[in-house]
Structure 1
Amino acid sequence: MSPSIPFKFNFNSLFEFCQVYSTMSGQGGSFKIVFARHGESEWTKNNWFCGWYDAHLSQKGVEEAHASAKVLKDGGYTFDVAFTSLLTRARHTLDIILSDIGQPDLPVVAHWRLNERHYGDLTGYNKEEMAAKYGLEQLQIWRRKFDVLPPPMDENHKYYSSIVNNPKLKSQPDIEFPTVESLETTMARSLPFWNEKVVPEILSGKRVLLVTHGTTLRGLVKHLDGLSDDAIMKLNLPTGMPFYYLLDQKLKPIVSMQFFSDRETVEKAMALVASISHKLPD
């Protein structure tokens, strides 16, 4: 497949070590995998902690999904298998992409281990409100420390029942409902799925598309690039903007996180994510 011309983005020096040796899939026994964060959800639009709550895409999110599909279609991309979470916002994004690129019947594996980070008691609350309640410093620790857990969600939480009784989740025989997660514990549940289900498909030579959530993707980026705990928490991934990795036979990056969109578009999108993330009171 022949991709759009990507660019090397240094993410404020987080990825200065990334070297682009090739942009062609299959060169020298390499493997390409395409990732995308889902489009904006109704809760993201309101700056609410979403986590495992099954929010739907906003109208902007739907448009972002179509835009994601366009850059892939324009680059001539097709896939053999796709992976996503069990949450509607990720699956809807994937379905739009597959329909737009002409592969609506592509095999899809949806699994709870690719769900977003569970934000515990913060779920459903506006980030500004939580800063006022707990203090800005404490809220930022919960959000931006690799291994720190927010307060857990208990059975009295207003969204507890809707999460644990979500038929798509409840029907999974092996599901483990968390009450709260950090990036560390999110990685602990998602990486076994990556290693056991996604990696074999990559190594078999299949063209893989993975559409999931911001924190889940952050964990995969940390895993692939070996980033420090502090470095990965500074990464802001835009919604609805695909990127790819080119991996060698040991699944080490030859090309790290290359977006298909032009540099200016990606920079603006990342700045927007950062501004929303920091839209908290002084």
Structure 2
Amino acid sequence: MTGDAGASRLVLLRHGQSTANAEGLFTGLLDVGLSQTGVAEAHRAAAQLSAAHIEPNTVFASELRRATITAQTVVDDLRLWPARVLRDWRLDERNYGSLTGLSKAEVRAEYGDAQFLRWRRSVSGAPPPMTDAQYETLAGSPLFGRLPAEALTRTESLTDVQVRVRAFFAQHLVPLLRAGGCVLVVAHGNSLRALCGVLEPLDDTELERLNIPTGYPLVYSFDETLRVRTRTGTYLNTESAHAAAELLAHEGGT
């Protein structure tokens, strides 16, 4: 592992491009797989970690397939056996409410840029809640049938996501990082954005502007008090990751 000997590390990785990402949809809690590009991004992420000599000893992922597939790809490519992917619903993507499954371009055209960006990027704003039919369809799926009731709401703001991510951080990440571990968390644009806001004091404007592209490992290191050493972390491929983040910003983020 590169960097300071004994320093704790947290690697954040947004899953590879999903099939719904490729189609330009509000994905949220839809449980979709990876596109061919997404599979390639997962392998690329593993290669970047290998080149940096970063070998996570604990791997977490959300309950959604696009994250678990990405995480398992990294584990397999790095031969982190017998490591296994630990799933936690609190890392799931933000619930986009009634926007779930809709075309981003069509929503933007219908409601205008200001409302579109408010639903996608604001910290406290939440999209309109799911209809009864949308909610019941998800609630009756095998995934949400085995998860606790609080895993499925009608809609969420980024603030709501931060509440559950903060609880995950306190329960799982704090003990591992205090022990000097190297942890990989594979999740989603919004749940990782929320986690960044837990790791360091980002204000609402900074969180709104934060874009995390798919497939680029973002590394945080910590001092003995669990204070981050480098603000907003460091991408292993800085130039390409920042270019991808700029493209996200141009498209409206996440």
TM-score, normalised to structure 2, is 0.93
Stretches of structure 2 that go unaligned for 5 or more consecutive residues are none
* Aligned residues of 2:42 and 2:73 also touching (Cα < 8 A): yes
- Map 1:11-22 to 2 at 5 A: none
Q: Aligned-pair distance for 1:177?
A: 1.2
Q: Write the distance in 1 (CA, Å) between the matches of 2:172 and 2:202.
A: 23
Residue matched to 2:130: 153
Stretches of structure 1 that go unaligned for 5 or more consecutive residues are 3-22
Q: Write the distance in 1 (CA, Å) between the matches of 2:114 and 2:148.
A: 39
Of 219, 225, 249, the residue aligned with 2:194 is: 219
Of 25, 40, 52, the residue aligned with 1:75 is: 52
If you compute each CA radius of gyration, which structure gives the higher value, 1 or 2?
1
Q: Aligned-pair distance for 1:190?
A: 1.5
- Map 1:59-208 to 2 at 5 A: 59-157=36-134, 160-173=135-148, 175-208=150-183
* Aligned residues of 1:112 and 1:175 also touching (Cα < 8 A): no
Q: Write the distance in 1 (CA, Å) between the matches of 2:179 and 2:197.
A: 23
Of 13, 16, 21, the residue aligned with 1:44 is: 21
Residue matched to 1:259: 235
The number of aligned residues is: 252
RMSD over aligned Cα atoms: 1.6
Q: Aligned-pair distance for 1:156?
A: 2.2
* Aligned residues of 1:62 and 1:93 also touching (Cα < 8 A): yes
Q: Write the distance in 2 (CA, Å) between the matches of 1:31 and 1:248.
A: 8
Q: In 2 relative to 1, CA 40–104 (structure 1 residues): closer, same or farther, beyond 3 Å?
A: farther
Q: Write the distance in 2 (CA, Å) between the matches of 1:187 and 1:99.
A: 30
* Aligned residues of 1:81 and 1:209 also touching (Cα < 8 A): yes
Q: Aligned-pair distance for 1:252?
A: 0.9
SS at the partner of 1:253?
A: coil
Q: Write the distance in 2 (CA, Å) between the matches of 1:249 and 1:107.
A: 27
Bigger shift: residues 107-116 or 248-257:
248-257
Determine which structure has the larger helix proportion and give its number. 2
Q: In 2 relative to 1, CA 70–93 (structure 1 residues): closer, same or farther, beyond 3 Å?
A: same
* Aligned residues of 2:209 and 2:249 also touching (Cα < 8 A): no
* Aligned residues of 1:68 and 1:240 also touching (Cα < 8 A): yes
Quick one: percent identity of the two aligned structures?
34
